[in-house]
């Protein structure tokens, strides 16, 4: 009896092995040819669309070992396992915080032991990228600069949350410089003044690293007109440092003492053209919108969902923050003029406050206003500053969206055009008491702090909505390329020819068209996604820009 059981078990195991062999043979049918096609696509698309060279820096913050056959294996696996893309989401993040917690609570973290490595080049790599990885969501852009794109990272069937040319928007000097070049280009095209005004998204700024701007600034600084203005209105300028300087660092309000130091540094303009510190002097907004006698600013989160073509979304919910000190335009306290989380933390520390902003349970509700902008609309309506009960939809959102669109258009020629790339930004806006709006700066990798329970919940939802956008475009592209691969494969089989013999100009055109991000194949965003589309180059004419830019202004 026992012997019969053993024979039965062995028979079942043999049948299972045969079934598994047959199943694998069927699933991976034409594997060699599909492998060739995918290898060709990764090479062609990377060479055609991805311009930046790989940076072979020793610094690897994610401790992942580059593997030069990774894309070959990963894309092949996904081709034969569509659920990995069409149903699931495989991701990872090295930095702690709300975003990583949101990713881990909602999706598959395929490198759960990942952590952010400090600058220690002696530490050996501890991880490899899993073949299932679809949406890497790192804090630093290591998968661009440390890895060979198209081979070791950023495969055809992946979408990355970083852009190598993001600095053209996030560096203050670049933002100002590109604004001026953009306005100059519009003037050269004969665009009228109304269009110029609508395309101007930052306050008057002098680029002190540019000789002519620098001379004009110091001529004005030494004029009687300027002296009269500061006596009557208080500070007229703030200075900012370009490059990767954010969170309040490098910002100075030009009080008398700061003005004197600046004049000494530049020898009252005699050193213009010699100093390359990437410093900018920006007009100070002396009549800001106030809440409870404190200056407030608001932050709009937005994503560049693709750069091939350019597609951008802005988030409906907004972070509104107030300065920690009451506003007084003649105050010498920086804390009254700059509403920045880092400055708030520094001020609290200096005051010996018990409030620890690094404590997840700290009550910071007085420093951040968990408003929807609807509350701001109601407040302005009560104060009699607006009469339109749909002011948000008719004025604020269109103005904010148009400014972000113009900021993107000012750098569109400098952006790497590749549909594998995306970026998460935040634009900081200030509103004056007469309801004029200006962009103060744009940040990438904006902070998503646990300032209040409501804010943590909002940032979690925002992360999920960003992933929804990335998934939608990746899934659409996956289905388009699956059709192309099957078509090429059928042509190779039917004509009994090699891959390079069946790639015609017509097929190349189809590949390029399929590589453009768009929502098709029945794919759409979730109904509760709070991001609104603000720009899509797939659309015709002014619809690209939600009709927020007139034809005469293009």
User: Residue 141, class by beta-carbon neighbours within 10 Å (0-12 exposed, 13-18 middle, 19+ buried)?
Assistant: buried
- pLDDT score at 12: 65
Range 313-321 average pLDDT: 88
User: Residue 548, class by beta-carbon neighbours within 10 Å (0-12 exposed, 13-18 middle, 19+ buried)?
Assistant: buried
Q: From the CB of residue 271, how many other CB atoms can be counted at a distance below 10 Å?
A: 14
> What's the pLDDT tens digit per position in 101-147?
999 999 999 999 887 766 655 567 789 999 999 999 999 888 988 78
Query: H/E element holding 430?
Result: strand 423-431
Beta-sheet pairing, 310-315 with 90-91: unpaired
SS3 assignment, position 437? strand
In whole angstroms, how far apart are CA 351 and each of 324, 327, 336? 12, 18, 15
In degrees, rounded to 5, the angle at the alpha carbon of residue 266 between the alpha carbons of residues 261 and 270 is 145
Range 276-303 average pLDDT: 90
What is the DSSP code (8-state) at residue 119? S
CA dihedral 152, 154, 157, 159 (to 10 degrees): 150
Task: Output phi, psi for 71, to 5 deg.
Answer: -65, -35
Nearest to 309 by CA among 403, 408, 398: 408
Range 55-75 average pLDDT: 82
> What's the pLDDT tens digit per position in 462-506?
999 999 999 999 999 999 999 999 999 999 999 999 999 999 999
User: How would DSSP label each residue in 207-255?
Assistant: ETTSHHHHHHHHHHHTSHHHHHHHHHH---EEEEE-SS--TTTT-EE--
Long-range contacts, 487-495 (Cβ 8 Å, 24+):
488/37, 489/30, 489/33, 489/34, 489/37, 492/33, 493/30, 493/33
Average model confidence (pLDDT) across the chain: 87
Max distance between CA atoms of the chain, in angstroms, equals: 111
User: Residue 18, class by beta-carbon neighbours within 10 Å (0-12 exposed, 13-18 middle, 19+ buried)?
Assistant: exposed
């Amino acid at each position: 009896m026992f012997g019969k059981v053993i024979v039965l078990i062995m028979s079942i195991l043999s049948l299972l092995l045969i079934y598994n062999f047959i199943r694998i043979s069927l699933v991976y049918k034409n594997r060699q040819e599909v492998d060739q096609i995918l290898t060709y696509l990764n090479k062609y698309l990377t060479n055609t669309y991805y311009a930046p060279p790989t940076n072979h820096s020793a610094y690897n913050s994610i401790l992942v070992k580059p593997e030069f056959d990774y894309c070959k294996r990963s894309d092949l696996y996904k081709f034969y396992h569509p659920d990995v893309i069409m149903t699931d989401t495989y991701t990872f993040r090295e930095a702690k915080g709300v975003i990583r917690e949101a990713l881990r609570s909602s999706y598959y973290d395929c490198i759960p032991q990942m952590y952010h490595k400090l600058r220690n080049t002696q530490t050996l790599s501890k991880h490899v990228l899993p073949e299932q990885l679809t949406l890497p969501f790192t804090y630093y852009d290591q998968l661009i600069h440390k890895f060979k794109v198209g081979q070791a990272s950023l495969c055809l069937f992946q979408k990355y949350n970083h852009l190598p040319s993001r600095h053209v928007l996030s560096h203050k000097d670049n933002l100002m410089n590109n604004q001026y070049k953009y306005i100059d280009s519009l003037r050269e095209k004969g665009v009228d003044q109304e269009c110029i005004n609508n395309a101007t998204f930052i306050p008057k700024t002098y680029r002190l690293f540019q000789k002519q701007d620098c001379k004009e600034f110091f001529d004005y600084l030494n004029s009687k007109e300027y002296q009269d203005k500061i006596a009557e209105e208080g500070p007229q300028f703030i200075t900012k440092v370009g490059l990767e300087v954010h969170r309040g660092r490098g910002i100075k309000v030009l009080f008398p003492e700061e003005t004197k130091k600046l004049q000494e540094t530049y020898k009252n303009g005699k050193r213009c053209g010699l100093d390359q510190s990437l410093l900018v002097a920006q007009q100070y907004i002396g009549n800001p919108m106030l809440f409870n006698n404190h200056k407030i600013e608001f932050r709009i989160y937005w994503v560049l969902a693709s750069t091939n073509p350019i597609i951008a979304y802005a988030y409906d919910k907004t972070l509104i923050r107030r300065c920690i000190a009451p506003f007084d335009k003649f105050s010498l306290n920086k804390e009254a003029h700059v509403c920045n989380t880092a400055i708030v933390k520094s001020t609290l520390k200096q005051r010996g406050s018990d409030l620890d902003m690094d404590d997840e349970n700290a009550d910071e509700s007085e420093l951040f206003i968990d408003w929807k902008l609807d509350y701001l609309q109601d407040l302005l309506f009560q104060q009699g500053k607006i009469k339109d009960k749909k002011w948000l939809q008719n004025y604020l959102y269109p103005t904010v969206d148009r400014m972000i669109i113009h900021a993107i258009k000012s750098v569109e020629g400098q952006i790497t055009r590749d549909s594998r790339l995306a970026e998460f930004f935040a634009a900081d806006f200030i509103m004056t008491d007469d309801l004029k709006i200006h962009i103060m700066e744009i940040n990438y990798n904006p902070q998503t702090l646990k300032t209040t329970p409501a804010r943590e919940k909002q940032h979690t939802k925002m992360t999920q909505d960003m992933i929804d956008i990335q998934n939608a475009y990746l899934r659409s592209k996956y289905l388009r390329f699956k059709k192309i691969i099957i078509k090429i494969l059928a042509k190779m089989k039917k004509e009994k020819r090699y891959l390079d013999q069946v790639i015609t100009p017509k097929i190349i055109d189809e590949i390029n068209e399929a590589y453009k991000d768009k929502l098709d194949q029945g794919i759409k965003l979730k109904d509760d996604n709070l991001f609104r589309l603000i720009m899509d180059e797939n659309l015709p004419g002014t619809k690209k820009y939600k009709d927020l830019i007139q034809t005469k202004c293009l």
